[in-house]
Structure formats: structure tokens, C-alpha cells
Amino acid sequence: MTYAVTSSPKPTALITGASRGLGAAIARELAPSHELLLGARSADALRDILKEIPDATGWPVELTDYAAVATAAAPIRRLDVLVHNAGIQDLGTIADSTVEQWRNTLEANLIAVVELTRVLLPALRAADGHVLLINSGAGLRANAGWASYAASKFGLRAFADALRLEEPSLRVTSIHPGRIDTDMQREIIAHEGREYRPEQFLRAETVAGAVRNAVETSRDGHPTEIVLRPASS
């Protein structure tokens, strides 16, 4: 199956972690203007968002299974937009963190991003495409209890900077949002032992709008970094 349909006037966008939360919000933002490939670990996880956006195509693959990623990416001949949204947050102090936790976090948040980008480079080059990496405020400043997550996001920023220099035909944007009102955020606040107050956080739709604005920036501009903070912070 070839995902890039040449008869369509719309550009093609692949969004990872698109089944819920921010990824689903990004899919809703780009749906009117793009042919969508929506990534998640399984077809079951994509069921609800594909019902909501029936013109989209599911792209279920475990991103740390690199043989499966190569197989899933092979039919993509041309890709205008790649949004790296999938990732994990496994928090803990350095004293309490295990080697396995560090490896899992770096694997999911950095190495899997690097490999997916690498295998899709021919398709991105064919379209003079745009790579957008959903980073974090933790990719700019590390806090206590967030060491492995921050390390993965600092590495993600370094990868974006190097990719931008190595692939001058591509646009590469790092997006650093503060905390977002999502199910994942509720888990983090519970881990921190605090009361969840959604008004303290960015809405997923706000961050998704920033992604769309970056994608729609005229080709004479290169949005390299976008930083968003909740108004209450």
C-alpha cells in the first residue's frame, strides 16, 4: 500500500501518538488541510479518532520495534509533514530510578524518533517536508525528579538542531509546551500528590494550533523553536 496519494491536492501528514490527548488534537487541526496518517501502538487504540476523522488512515506500529517501523514506513513515498508526538513520562528521582527506566525513556522519547525520521528521510526530501518535534519545557530546563525525561528531551532538541543543519531542504521545528491538560498530566499530578486543576494548564487545542501555525508558515520563514507556557504560570 502506498500512502501518499498523488491525485490528492492535499499534502500528507503523519502524526505519532495520535489516538488521544495532544496527538488527537493535532489530527483535528490538520484534518481539513492534510491527508492524515495517524500513528499509535495498535489499531484498537486508533478506533475512536478514526471514527471522528473517517478520511484519515490508521498507521498502527510500535515505534520501538524498528523492523516493524521500517515495514510500515516503506510504502510512504512522499511525506510533507511528520509530527513526532508519541512519548512517555516515567518520573522519579535519580536515586530511585533504575537503568531500565532510563533506557525505556530514552528509547521511546529519543531513539525511536531518530529512527523513524531516518527511515522517512527519502519521503520527506521528496516533499521538502517539515518535521515537528513535540518537546517540552523539560527540554529547556531540568527539574528535580524529572532527570530521565529531561535528558530525553534535551537530546531531542539536539537531534532537531543537527537534523536542521544536515537536511537543509527540510524545515525542522522544536515545540516546547508547558504542562498540558491531558490524561497523562492527571497521572503526573497524582504522582506529585497535588490536586488537579485543569485551568492551570495549556489546552491541547492551543498546542495543536501552534503546530498548525508552524506548518502553515510561508516557505520564506523557518519556525525553528516555539515555546508555549500556561498563562497562569
**Could you tell me the strand order of the sheet in which 12-15 lies?**
57-60, 35-40, 12-15, 81-84, 130-134, 171-177, 225-228
Give the whole-angstrom CA distance, residue 90 versus residue 101.
Answer: 7
Task: Say how far residue 154 (Cα) sits from the centre of its chain.
Answer: 15
Residue 72 in grid coordinates: 510500515
Alpha helices in the chain (DSSP H): 21-30, 47-52, 66-73, 99-106, 112-126, 147-166, 183-192, 204-216
Give the whole-angstrom CA distance, residue 108 versus residue 59.
Answer: 17
Q: Which residues are catalytic, by number? A: 149
| Residue 43: C-alpha distances to residues 59, 71, 84 (Å) | 8, 16, 18
